Amino acid sequence: MTAEQVVGELADGMTVGIGGWGSRRKPMALVKAILRSPLRDLTVVSYGGPDLGMLCAAGKVRRAVYGFVSLDSILYDPWFQQVRQRGGLEVSEVDEGMLQTGLRAAGHRLPFLPIRAGLASDVLRLNPDLRLVECPYTGEELLAMPALPLDAALVHLNLADPHGNARYLGPDPYFDDLFCLAATRRYLSCERVVDTAALVAAGPPQGLLLNRMMVDGVVESPGGAGFTSCVPDYDRDEQAQRAYATAAREQSWESFVDSYLRED
């Protein structure tokens, strides 16, 4: 598939999960394709980085579900800050462990999973839909993290075969498998598409994070995570990221996004 074909299968108002973490191995080629599309009113679930910052700044997001939004080497995403400080963006800000638990619940087809994180904090005040659950064995009260079912998941890995088997080559899988398990439609971009034998030979079996029942479409997109990192293929392009952050002070969103999308 192409990134444009992936976005062609999405619709206004969908809940879209975006893999990676902060400014690490984000499916930026797919994010760019959303920026070029007329899609809007998305609910985005993400361990947020420039993916969430860009989609919010472009007015694509009605609701953001996240534990944090950070560019890692730059603490705060200034675009996300601007959108939040203007008001009007609906947010569900939760503990980052709750996000994982909500994805797990969706992947297990459970309505909720219990977790301790969030108890006694303002996460409950800020998300009035959250409920507590009493343990039937001990009476202990825990937070009932609701499932976070996704209409679509977008993830980027290092290596895949044409069927959707895929592996990460860096040190951290992040939560990309959980995003796929939680989603109805699952789209994977990758640095290189190889045949299955080459994919399997490229590393240990436990690095094969996704199998083909977890993926509906594969996009070959070398550099497709840039400017976020995709080790060992490439590190974060700090200069490009700084330009993204600096643009928030100096330029309008339109002039930044025009030059950003022209780079392809």
For residue 66, the minimal CB distance to other proteins (Å) is 6
Q: What is the widest separation between alpha-carbon atoms in the chain?
A: 59
| Least Cβ distance, residue 48 to other proteins (angstroms) | 7
Q: Which is nearer to other proteins, 121 or 184 (CB)?
A: 121
Contact map string, positions 156 to 195, toward other proteins, x by CB under 8 A: --------------xxxxxx--------------------
**Smaller CB separation from other proteins, 114 or 149:** 114
By CB under 8 A, is residue 118 in contact with other proteins? Answer: yes
97 belongs to the binding site for other proteins (CB under 8 A): yes
65-73, 128-136, 181-189, 195-203 -> range binding other proteins (CB under 8 A): 65-73
Residue span 17-36 as binding mask against other proteins, x where in contact by CB under 8 A, dash where not? ----x---------------
State the minimum distance, in angstroms, from the CB of residue 128 to other proteins. Answer: 12
Determine, following the binding rule CB under 8 A, whether residue 253 of this chain makes contact with other proteins: no
| Nearest residue (CB) to other proteins, 70 versus 228 | 70
Radius of gyration of the chain (CA): 18
The window from 29-37, 67-75, 193-201, 220-228 that contacts other proteins (CB under 8 A) reads 67-75
**61 counts as binding other proteins under rule CB under 8 A:** no
Encode 90-100: b = buried (16+ Cβ within 10 Å), e = exposed: ebbbbbeebbb
> Which H helix or E strand runs over 105?
helix 96-107
The residue type found at 141 is: E
Name which of 85 and 239 has its Cβ closer to other proteins.
85
**C-alpha to C-alpha distance for 260 and 31, rounded to whole angstroms:** 12
Instruction: Tell me which residue of 72, 88, 127, 78 sits closest to 238, measured CA to CA.
Output: 72
Residue type, 82: Q
Whether residue 205 has a cis bond before it, omega within 30° of 0: no
* Minimal distance, residue 16 CB to other proteins, in Å: 19
Our finding on whether 67 is near other proteins (CB under 8 A) is: yes
Q: Which two tokens stand for residue 20?
A: 């990676």
Taking CA atoms, 156 is separated from 19, 44, 78, 217, 235, in Å, by 7, 16, 24, 12, 14
Percent helix, strand and coil across the chain, each to the nearest 5: 35, 25, 40
The reply to whether 58 sits near other proteins by the rule CB under 8 A is no
Q: Rule CB under 8 A: is residue 244 a binding residue for other proteins?
A: no
Pairing mode, strands 141-146 and 112-115: antiparallel
Residues that bind other proteins (CB under 8 A): 21, 48, 66-70, 75-76, 80-81, 84-88, 91, 93-98, 100, 115-123, 125-126, 170-175
